[in-house]
Chain A
Amino acid sequence: MWAAVAILIAWQLVITLFRPHVSLLPPPQLAAREFWTLFASGELFVHAGTSLARVLSAWCITGAVAIPLGLAMGWSRRFEKIVDPFVELFRPISPLAWIPLAILWFGIGEAGKVFVVCVATLFPTLLSTIAGVKRIDPVLIHAGQVLGCTDRGSLFLKVIFPAALPSIVVGLRISFGTGWAAIIAAELVAARSGLGYLIANGMEILRADKVLVGMAMIGVLGVCFDAFFRYLSRRFAWGTT
């Protein structure tokens, strides 16, 4: 709250002191009016909804892949040895570096953008899941076994997954953040909708007010989702205190 007020004051100060052209930095009230226009017409929600839908679908896809893969890698040293070189090779490549390939492969449709977000969300989820499994106290595994989880399936379901869950939730939270950052970048380059497109379009038609509204929306939604995941990770925080 205080941060928002401080930013507004600084913004107004810059306007009065330097008098920048309105296409570079509009005064706050002009940006607010544009916000209201986009808000009232529903355009803002369409863009925000499109971006969110892309992130959510990619995030679910990688969750479905990375969590089982991470559980297996954390559990089996041998399996980890096979897969880990691939992970280490691809991990340092920024998800944004995949945007050109995504456009070549999938064009500028939905698939390409979902693909880029998949790359961005995969590694945080995967690495947190692996770490979560490796950190399990072996005595909990033994306790599960003497209490009847003698096959691998029930041991995973009833001991390993719940024991690793706090770490998995942290990974999901981090990956949502990286996914949210990646989708904006992907939409800047090649899109006809989404908050990234709103910003890129604003730049092209020299409307800094549109750019600012888009950026504000990205920030606010990012904070909201992070707060939601923080709440979730507190609920699943067993064994970490």
Chain B
Amino acid sequence: MNASKSKPISIRGIAKTYQTQSGESVEALKPTALEIGAGEFVVIVGPSGCGKSTLLNMLAGFGEPSAGEARVSDVRVTGPDIDRGMVFQSYALFPWRDVIGNVEFGLEQKGIPKCERREIALKYLHMVGLQDFANKEVDELSGGMKQRVAIARAFATEPSIIFMDEPFGALDALTRRFLQRELLHIWQQHRKTIVFVTHSVPEAIYLGDRIVVLTARPGQIKTIINVDLPHPRDATSDTFRDIERAIYAQLDAELVKSFALEGRETAVAAAD
């Protein structure tokens, strides 16, 4: 497989504040700065509602940041682009297309001629082990297979960066483990820049070069942990366990804050 281009991401003071319908402004993400190298696998973890999906969406070009900017190879991100792929938790396959039709979607948009398209799509279906399911309907697949199609679809257009928003969050533990290994394998071959959001600490350590831990809402970077272990990583090794303990310690402190925040909101709501 060709080791194609990948690009660095420069996050410069990016922040997001939402306006609720009652006119209140809610700070989802405090100004955040981070440099992600080309071909790096960065995992973002944090308590739910900490703004990690908000951050990922802004990097992908969905929703303007309230402040700051994200730059990809020094070009400002202003909207979604075929050069930045995305894999979603809910798979987001197009049900009116069969499996290979889904993988071909982005290739059509790139204007690649039909027979070549088919060939490329088959190559990427092969990469995720689904070449025999090319003509199946999406509804006939299991969740794990759907996500493999979505991964093939994201890689097929050969983007420089792939964003993954809790891609394995809806899958059972065994399928999840299998897909983590498969994704790692694909990443090692293609060396795309990957920004991966998850709730799962072991998943983060298993996959990431660097793990960015976010604080409870409003989110900001609490700490960044480098994982220097060679792949494939053994989740039972002492170093793995040490990193896991360190991250949980950081997260537990945030969860306490997060629950306290929710408690206060409930109290305020009750007082109203």
Residues of A within 8 A of B (CB): 137, 139-140, 142-150, 154, 158-159, 162-163, 165, 236, 238-239, 241
Given contacts A147-B105, A154-B109, A162 and B157 within 8 Å (CB-CB): no
Would you call B94 and A162 a contact (CB within 8 A)?
A: yes
Question: Which of these, B92, B108, B109, B139, contacts A137 with CB under 8 Å?
Answer: B92
Give the Cβ gap from B169 to chain A, nearest Cβ, in Å.
13
Would you call B157 and A147 a contact (CB within 8 A)?
A: yes
Contacts of A154 in B (CB 8 A): 109
Contacts of A241 in B (CB 8 A): 139
Interface string of B103-118 (1 = CB under 8 A from A): 0011011100000000
Give the Cβ gap from B56 to chain A, nearest Cβ, in Å.
11
Question: Which of these, B62, B81, B94, B109, contacts A142 with CB under 8 Å?
Answer: B62
Question: Which of these, A139, A158, A238, contacts B90 with CB under 8 Å?
Answer: A139
By beta carbon, the residue of chain A nearest B60 is A146
Contacts of A148 in B (CB 8 A): 82, 105-106, 108-110, 157
Contacts of A150 in B (CB 8 A): 79-82
Given contacts A158-B105, A238-B139, A143 and B96 within 8 Å (CB-CB): no
Besides A142-B62, A158-B105, A238-B96, 14 other A-B contacts (C-beta < 8 A): A142-B92, A143-B88, A143-B92, A143-B93, A146-B81, A146-B154, A147-B153, A148-B82, A148-B106, A150-B80, A154-B109, A239-B95, A239-B96, A241-B139
Would you call B81 and A139 a contact (CB within 8 A)?
A: no
Given contacts A149-B109, A238-B96, A143 and B86 within 8 Å (CB-CB): yes
Residues of B within 8 A of A (CB): 60-62, 79-82, 84-86, 88, 90, 92-96, 105-106, 108-110, 139, 153-154, 157
By beta carbon, the residue of chain A nearest B93 is A143
Would you call B94 and A140 a contact (CB within 8 A)?
A: yes
Would you call A146 and B95 a contact (CB within 8 A)?
A: no
Total A-B Cβ pairs within 8 A: 68
Query: CA of A143 to CA of B86 in the docked complex: distance in angstroms?
Result: 7
A142, A150, A162, A165 interface centre (most CB from chain B within 10 Å): A142
By beta carbon, the residue of chain B nearest A142 is B62
Query: CA of A142 to CA of B165 in the docked complex: distance in angstroms?
Result: 12
Would you call B80 and A142 a contact (CB within 8 A)?
A: yes
Would you call B96 and A147 a contact (CB within 8 A)?
A: no
Query: CA of A147 to CA of B82 in the docked complex: distance in angstroms?
Result: 5
For this complex, 15 residue pairs linking A to B, each with C-beta atoms less than 8 Å apart, are A137-B90, A139-B88, A142-B80, A143-B92, A146-B81, A146-B84, A146-B86, A147-B82, A147-B109, A148-B82, A148-B106, A158-B109, A162-B96, A236-B96, A238-B96
Contacts of B95 in A (CB 8 A): 238-239
Would you call B94 and A159 a contact (CB within 8 A)?
A: yes
Give the Cβ gap from A79 to chain B, nearest Cβ, in Å.
21
Give the Cβ gap from B121 to chain A, nearest Cβ, in Å.
12
Would you call A145 and B96 a contact (CB within 8 A)?
A: no
By beta carbon, the residue of chain A nearest B110 is A148
Query: CA of A149 to CA of B157 in the docked complex: distance in angstroms?
Result: 13
Contacts of A139 in B (CB 8 A): 88, 90, 92
Give the Cβ gap from B44 to chain A, nearest Cβ, in Å.
18
Contacts of B94 in A (CB 8 A): 140, 143-144, 159, 162-163
Contacts of B157 in A (CB 8 A): 147-148
Query: CA of A147 to CA of B157 in the docked complex: distance in angstroms?
Result: 8
Query: CA of A165 to CA of B96 in the docked complex: distance in angstroms?
Result: 9
Give the Cβ gap from B194 to chain A, nearest Cβ, in Å.
14
By beta carbon, the residue of chain A nearest B92 is A143
Contacts of A147 in B (CB 8 A): 82, 85, 105-106, 109, 153, 157
